[in-house]
Amino acid sequence: MSKRPLTTSQFQETLTGIRLMLDAREYVGALQGIEEAVNSSDLSLSPSELAHLTAIAGECLALVGRSDEAVETASRIVAEYQESDNHLVFGSACIGVAAGCYFIGDLERAQLHAEIAYHAFLRGGDRAGTAKSLNWSGNISFYMGDYESATRSYRKCIAFAEEYNLDHWTAVASLNLGLTDCLVGRLQEALSSLVLCAERSSKSNDRLTSLRSRLVVSYAKVLGRDFEQARIELSTVRTESLLDTYPREQSSWHEYMGELELCCNNLPEAEQHLTRAIEIGSCESRDESVIGQSRRLLAEVRLAQGNLDETVSEAERALESIRKVGERFEEGVVYRVIGEVHVRRNEPSEARAAFKQSLDILRDIGARLEWAKSCLAAGETDIFSRRERLAYLAEAERLFTDIGVEYWSERTREQLKIVLDDRGEELTVRRGAPVRGSLFITADPATLELLQMAERYAKKDIAILLTGETGVGKDQLARHLHTVSPRHHKPFVAIDLNTIPESLWESELFGHRKGTFTGASAEKIGLLESADGGTVFLNEIGNLPLALQSKILEFLDTHHIRRLGEVTPTPLDIRLIAATNLKLVDAVAKGQFRADLYYRLAQAPLALKPLRERRVDIMPLIRHFMVEYGVPPAEVGLIDRQLWVDRASNGHWAGNVRDLRSFVYRLIAIADRPSDPEFPRWAMLLVEQIDVIHEPNIGSSVTPTALSESLDRHAGNQRAAARELGVSETTIRRLMNRFGLARPAQTQN
């Protein structure tokens, strides 16, 4: 009996079913569907239909671990159709080659075929295929360690998928972008991408991508050292039966749990999870990436246990897996571990070589967080000269400050203090009798007027609201207000909400009664109460949830607070100084901030100008910080004749006063004093570096006028403006804040 050919609709139905299984990661089922269609006893396929299914089979083979077979199968179709007008078959075959080469570590060939697939699908009008090829291109760049290229590919994929409502690919690319941002050290941007991933995966009913996004959220929390939230997230994920269905996600879960336990110094638990991750990764389709990452972490566990021989053994096994897939990130971290082993064995030349490899790799690929950790590790050892250690530590301090993980910044500053104290010089700020000039430096006429107004407010017992960009000096102004107020002899307590886990805000601020919740084993006095009689500086008040805003308002009205679990209010005598870098009036309009609290605070508002708008303050501040960090005043005068001064006076200083202080801190750490012959060269290098650091790689060409006009054309729709300008929504929001264009968000299309 002869076979009857498939109709066009029947073939498209078959093709759609296979693609749906691919999107759902049901790779074995997709491969079985292809084999059934090819070997059907009733239906026959045309040559192009057979080629199309064979091309897709190449991708499936790669994804089930048969990578060599995938490359061979897909390459045959590529050769046959490279001169054809059938762009969809050709594009699918190129994806098969890219996937196979990706898994066997031939990343350059993989990248080439992903790019060819992109153009083929674009010509053929296959939007899902176009998005897929962009995502593959990002994945390949990611494993090559080219994070900026990966970021561009993922963002391009997101913009394309959003334009054509391809929710699945928006979710997948947002997930991958979030993971990339984690490794680069853009932790807040990572969480923003993962929020988008969660929204789109829910919309497309993509449970696996949703699960993966939650795993990466937990990883971001571990990197940011928010261990409580990371543990909650991982514990919640583990209770879901979905995790048991996917070995890759199971191994990732154990890997992240292992890293969490390692960070918490729970070494036996870390070892148990990492060993399990390796076991799962070694089953069926061997996953060298998970194995390599977990072995690297296990090497760190062995190092923490003091087992140096086992550390080296695990590190070498990690490198074996890592090199098979070309993961330069992990390779860079492994060399740091090896360097630390050589330090403990007192093998300086071997340690220097290992640290150099680690630093070169991590700097080259832009993995800022691990690069900073390697700088810190190098600065903590005495195998390097004092000047080398200071340079490494200054670089680590800059990176950690930019990334925003205070634990690492503080640890680096402590190490810098140790190294600087070796020369008998003072690192920390002098704490003499506070006078006006020592706490707030300005020569700007408008800011001097504001300071006069501030001092009048300080004499009155009213709440004060400080506004201005991050790093503009709000904390210094708050301290100044306390110093010149009648409360100057009482405590000054600064509370930065960004450093307290959100789940602990109420307990930390207001205190709690014993037994109020699990873990409340004793009565706790809150931070507000600890400042009784003095001043509380509450930074980032715009982040407070509405419930806590109500409690702050209640205190301002009654001068009483209630600890968690208590009914009877406690009287409290403090002055509240609140600060935010947000436009609270916009938050009020959106219902995110209580209007009555805003107007209560806004009775005494003080808005600080950014440093770029009061450039007259730049050099006085530089001189002040130099003296503060131990440079003799006579030497400070030498900088006026050095060439870098003009560049500094006209620099962008996106980080404002905080960035300027950090610049002087690093300069003094590296180059000692202005009389040092190397001082001007280091100063110029650091000024140039700072100007570059604070310009985003993506969107740096977007001008204030272009952004404003685009937002106006789209009635404030940030997503539409992002599409038009070719950047992400996160970049749009960052540029709006930088250019002072913040406005109420519009409903996104």
631 vs 515 pLDDT, higher one: 631
- Name, of 223-237, 490-504, 642-656, the range with top average pLDDT: 223-237
Whether 187 has a pLDDT exceeding 80, the answer reads yes
593 vs 288 pLDDT, higher one: 593
Q: Using 50, 70 and 90 to split pLDDT, how confident is the model at 709?
A: confident
Q: What is the mean pLDDT of residues 735-742?
A: 65
Q: What is the mean pLDDT of residues 468-491?
A: 87
Q: What is the pLDDT of residues 188-213, one digit of tens each?
A: 899 999 999 999 999 988 888 999 99
pLDDT score of 730? 58
Q: Alpha helix locations (H) across 559-655? A: 584-589, 595-601, 618-628, 633-636, 644-649
- CATH class in words for 260-421: mainly alpha
Lowest mean pLDDT among 16-20, 47-51, 144-148, 530-534: 16-20
Whether 239 has a pLDDT exceeding 90, the answer reads no
pLDDT score of 716? 76
Do the beta carbons of residue 698 and residue 151 sit within 8 Å? yes
Whether 402 has a pLDDT exceeding 90, the answer reads no
Whether 424 has a pLDDT exceeding 70, the answer reads no
Which residues, other chains included, contact 349 with Cβ-Cβ below 8 Å and sequence gap of 6+? none
Q: Using 50, 70 and 90 to split pLDDT, how confident is the model at 175?
A: very high
Whether 471 has a pLDDT exceeding 90, the answer reads no
Q: What is the mean pLDDT of residues 11-19?
A: 78
Q: What type of residue is 718?
A: Q
Q: Using 50, 70 and 90 to split pLDDT, how confident is the model at 433?
A: very low
pLDDT score of 353? 94
Lowest mean pLDDT among 139-153, 496-510, 611-625: 496-510
Q: What is the mean pLDDT of the chain?
A: 83
DSSP string across 32-78:
HHHHHHHT-SSEE--HHHHHHHHHHHHHHHHHTT-HHHHHHHHHHHH
Whether 322 has a pLDDT exceeding 80, the answer reads yes
CATH number of 437-607: 3.40.50.300
- Local structure of residue 608 (DSSP, 8 states): P
Q: What is the pLDDT of residues 558-591, one digit of tens each?
A: 988 888 777 788 898 999 999 998 888 888 888 8
Look at residue 264 and give its three-state secondary structure.
coil
Place of tokens 């002899």: 489
- What's the CA gap between 80 and 90, in Å, rounded? 9
- Name, of 25-29, 172-176, 399-403, the range with top average pLDDT: 172-176
519 vs 622 pLDDT, higher one: 622
Place of tokens 């873990």: 519
Whether 511 has a pLDDT exceeding 90, the answer reads no
Q: Using 50, 70 and 90 to split pLDDT, how confident is the model at 727?
A: low
Do the beta carbons of residue 573 and residue 559 sit within 8 Å? yes
Q: What is the mean pLDDT of residues 530-539?
A: 90
526 vs 371 pLDDT, higher one: 371
Look at residue 244 and give its three-state secondary structure.
helix
Do the beta carbons of residue 154 and residue 177 sit within 8 Å? yes
pLDDT score of 145? 79
- What's the CA gap between 497 and 480, in Å, rounded? 21
pLDDT score of 746? 42
Q: Using 50, 70 and 90 to split pLDDT, how confident is the model at 129?
A: very high
How wide is the angle at C-alpha 363 spanned by C-alphas 158 and 701, nearest 5°?
45
Whether 661 has a pLDDT exceeding 70, the answer reads yes
The model's pTM is 0.58
Q: What is the pLDDT of residues 74-86, one digit of tens each?
A: 999 899 998 888 9
Whether 542 has a pLDDT exceeding 60, the answer reads yes
736 vs 450 pLDDT, higher one: 450
Distances (CA, A) of 12 to 52, 322, 477: 11, 40, 67
Q: Using 50, 70 and 90 to split pLDDT, how confident is the model at 658?
A: confident
Q: Tell me: domain 4-211, CATH 1.25.40.10, correct?
A: yes
Lowest mean pLDDT among 191-195, 274-278, 598-602, 701-705: 701-705
Whether 332 has a pLDDT exceeding 90, the answer reads yes
Which pair of tokens denotes residue 377? 């590790």
Listed residue (286, 250, 246, 281) closest to 65, CA to CA: 286
Place of tokens 């990732």: 252
Lowest mean pLDDT among 298-302, 522-526, 544-548: 522-526
606 strand-pairing partners: 466
Radius of gyration of the chain (CA): 29
22 vs 191 pLDDT, higher one: 191
Which residues, other chains included, contact 597 with Cβ-Cβ below 8 Å and sequence gap of 6+? 549, 552, 553, 556
Whether 425 has a pLDDT exceeding 70, the answer reads no
Lowest mean pLDDT among 156-170, 354-368, 519-533, 567-581: 519-533
- What's the CA gap between 74 and 71, in Å, rounded? 5
Neighbours of 105 (CB within 10 A): 16
Which residues, other chains included, contact 404 with Cβ-Cβ below 8 Å and sequence gap of 6+? 187, 188, 224, 498
pLDDT score of 125? 92
Whether 655 has a pLDDT exceeding 70, the answer reads no
pLDDT score of 705? 67
- What's the CA gap between 368 and 364, in Å, rounded? 10
Q: Do 4-211 and 437-607 come out as alike in CATH topology?
A: no
pLDDT score of 293? 92
pLDDT score of 675? 85
- What's the CA gap between 199 and 301, in Å, rounded? 36
Q: Using 50, 70 and 90 to split pLDDT, how confident is the model at 611?
A: confident
Domain positions in the chain = 4-211, 260-421, 437-607, 611-693
Q: Using 50, 70 and 90 to split pLDDT, how confident is the model at 333?
A: very high
Whether 489 has a pLDDT exceeding 50, the answer reads yes
- What's the CA gap between 351 and 337, in Å, rounded? 10
- What's the CA gap between 290 and 366, in Å, rounded? 21
**Share above pLDDT 90 across residues of the chain, in percent, rounded to a whole number:** 30
